[in-house]
Structure 1
Amino acid sequence: MPAPQGFPQVRHLSVEGNDEGQRLDNFLLKHLPGVPKSHVYRLLRSGQVRVDGGRCKPDRRLRLGEAVRVPPVRVAERGEPVRPPDRVLDRLKSAIRLENEDYLALDKPAGLAVHAGSGLDYGVIEAIRAWQTYDYVELCHRLDRDTSGVLLLAKSRKALLRAQNAFRDGLAQKRYLALVIGAWNGGVREVDSRLLKNFPQGGERMVLVDEHGKPSRTRFTPTRRFVDATLCEVDIFSGRMHQIRVHANEVGQGVAGDRKYGFRDAQKPIREAGLKRLFLHARGLQLPAQDGYPTLRVEAPLPAELEAVLERLPS
């Protein structure tokens, strides 16, 4: 007997080019928008999801042409996606630093999140999809909302995996510029404190230095010294949330303009120099030649508003 009209039915989804190599759980989450993760994993554990007729674990990698059986499940109704304003779409188009058949790299403006969520209707990825230019586009990594600079996106799943593998294996080079509070003593300094996410219920998302956290390493190299601050080149060898900001605090020299982790009382001279945002900029990104891809290098100059702050600081 056919299901009543509007009642969800079994679907059989084909694994296409940009789905090849994706984990089964992530594939389902993409095709079941609005369904809680806990319910998706219950479907997997119960064996209701099949790949070419067989039960599979959540981490099973999908192969081209396979058929995924998705059982009847009600998908929460979503409103129409919010279209970002034209000024945002145009600003991102003007911020392209590199584009080829595999990647799109932007100089992300400060104040714009990379994706929607936490009360935000849109971010960079939603804006780029609103261009309606690409059949496939995904973020290769993240930048904090208040951080400007190089943001890399992939135009195919193969290119995405190449970038993600380089980040995971420590083969990518990521360099930032950060103005830290106070005079810097000595030269290059490395911080390898472990970092732990702390999301208290109903509280502010924070990252803590904790021996039970994930390994994290940051190198600070002072390049310009001022009376009340120091400009540093920062290389990160892991990609933890808020890593540079927390590690700068760990050595007693928080990032200028940081309202979450920074030292507010010490920031007055820098505010007087005109700083109105977090002074953290993703200056450059490099991926090595790998898996048939050539070396990829992208740079983004320090924004004019941050250059102006440096010019006003007494040295």
Structure 2
Amino acid sequence: MNSTQQWQAVTWFEVDEHQLDQRIDNFLFSRLKGVPKSRIYRLIREGQVRINKKRVKAETKLKIGDQIRVAPIRFEQKEEAAPVSDKVAQSLLARVVYEDEGLMVVNKPSGIAVHGGSGVAYGLIEGLRAASGKKYLELIHRIDRDTSGLVMISKKRSVLKTLQDLLREHKIQKTYAAVVKGKVALDKQLIDQPLHRYELPNGERRVRVSKEGKESKTQWNVQERFMHATLVYASPLSGRTHQIRVHGLSIGHPLVGDEKYGHETEYRGPKPRRLCLHAMRLEIPGYPTIEAPMPEDMQSLIAQLRAQKADKVVAPVEDDE
């Protein structure tokens, strides 16, 4: 029996203490040998994967004793993940900005997904595993494919659990640099809008402001205003999909280069090469502050915006009263 034929019947798994708090997608990646990640994501999306008879999402966390049912997997055509080249793997390893015995932090380039699947042959985590040869590397969190910047990766399961707990408790502060359309009026503001995630008919995830959504807050601090855009440092106080992007759209200032949210909003500045969003700083309890410099493409865009004549940095004076 080959690695694909064995999954052509209903498959059951039971979760033990070793898989506690693991995401269902990561669990299935390691169990369904020979099944492409894109197929696994499709199975989850179509309800072919159930936990205790209930539909799940890719990010669903496992509990001890969970009964996982996977429907028969039919292979209409051969799907193979592309191998990670040595050049790509080593270039990703060179982007490690912090590492100790349990944590690795990587400055991800824009345009690469954090993991393979859903039509993506491989991602950051697969590249790092190939380059480092480490048996255990797991994503602690995710950022969008088009977003550049800091991604935390655990080298130990204990670190994974500890830092994910800190994320849930909002004790890790993440700061992003964003170039947004138009001049933002307020120097500082807290955007407090509930966000609801939904899927398009093709399965693509989108997010919108909705009363039915989850509580979501983002702190915006203006750094510099230009004729047609504003440089903002944004700190999400909750961890929702596309949060900064949709919150920007909600106040009339979508991100420059965003093809999903607010692309129809007028913008007369220089043409961007990519989504202008960069995860620039991580402040983790017990660790030094970890930073990633602004990527060259965003620096170039900002230089062009300055050349169009800018209102220089607005640094509000703190009032002691």
What is the TM-score normalised by the length of structure 2? 0.77
- Distance in 1 between residues matched to 2:159 and 2:150, nearest whole Å: 17
The structural deviation recorded for 1:122 is 0.5
Aligned ranges 1:10-25 → 2 under 5 Å: 19=18, 21-22=20-21
- Distance in 1 between residues matched to 2:70 and 2:281, nearest whole Å: 46
Call closer, same or farther: CA 1:15–1:200 in 2, change over 3 Å: closer
The structural deviation recorded for 1:252 is 0.4
Paired AA for residue 64 in structure 2? R
In structure 1, the partner of 2:242 is: 242
Paired AA for residue 41 in structure 1? R
- Distance in 1 between residues matched to 2:186 and 2:50, nearest whole Å: 51
Paired AA for residue 128 in structure 1? L
- Distance in 1 between residues matched to 2:64 and 2:211, nearest whole Å: 33
The answer to whether the 8 A contact 2:15-2:63 is kept is no
The answer to whether the 8 A contact 1:103-1:159 is kept is yes
Matched, 1:60 2:63: yes
In structure 1, the partner of 2:210 is: 210
Secondary structure at the aligned position of 1:208 is classed as strand
- Distance in 2 between residues matched to 1:24 and 1:143, nearest whole Å: 16
Call closer, same or farther: CA 1:223–1:15 in 2, change over 3 Å: same
The structural deviation recorded for 1:117 is 1.7
The runs of 5 or more residues in structure 1 that have no matched partner are 1-5, 46-57, 63-67, 289-293
In structure 2, the partner of 1:254 is: 254
Matched, 1:136 2:128: no
Matched, 1:41 2:50: yes
The answer to whether the 8 A contact 1:174-1:285 is kept is yes
Matched, 1:299 2:291: yes
The structural deviation recorded for 1:82 is 2.1
The answer to whether the 8 A contact 1:83-1:130 is kept is no
Paired AA for residue 216 in structure 2? S
Matched, 1:310 2:302: yes
The structural deviation recorded for 1:120 is 0.8
The answer to whether the 8 A contact 1:83-1:127 is kept is no
In structure 2, the partner of 1:284 is: 281
Q: How many residues align?
A: 283
Secondary structure at the aligned position of 1:267 is classed as coil
Matched, 1:224 2:216: no
In structure 1, the partner of 2:196 is: 196
Matched, 1:182 2:185: no
In structure 2, the partner of 1:111 is: 111
- Distance in 2 between residues matched to 1:69 and 1:245, nearest whole Å: 36
In structure 1, the partner of 2:92 is: 92
What is the TM-score normalised by the length of structure 1? 0.78
- Distance in 2 between residues matched to 1:94 and 1:280, nearest whole Å: 21
In structure 2, the partner of 1:49 is: none
The answer to whether the 8 A contact 2:105-2:151 is kept is yes
The structural deviation recorded for 1:184 is 1.7
The answer to whether the 8 A contact 1:191-1:217 is kept is yes
What is the root-mean-square deviation of aligned Cα atoms in Å?
Answer: 3.3
The answer to whether the 8 A contact 2:93-2:131 is kept is no
In structure 2, the partner of 1:55 is: none
Question: Higher mean Cα deviation, 71-80 or 179-188?
Answer: 71-80
- Distance in 1 between residues matched to 2:69 and 2:296, nearest whole Å: 54
Deviation string for 1:194-248 (max 9, x for gaps)?
A: 1111202226432111100111100110011111111011111111111101000
The answer to whether the 8 A contact 1:282-1:300 is kept is yes
Secondary structure at the aligned position of 1:270 is classed as coil
- Distance in 1 between residues matched to 2:12 and 2:204, nearest whole Å: 40
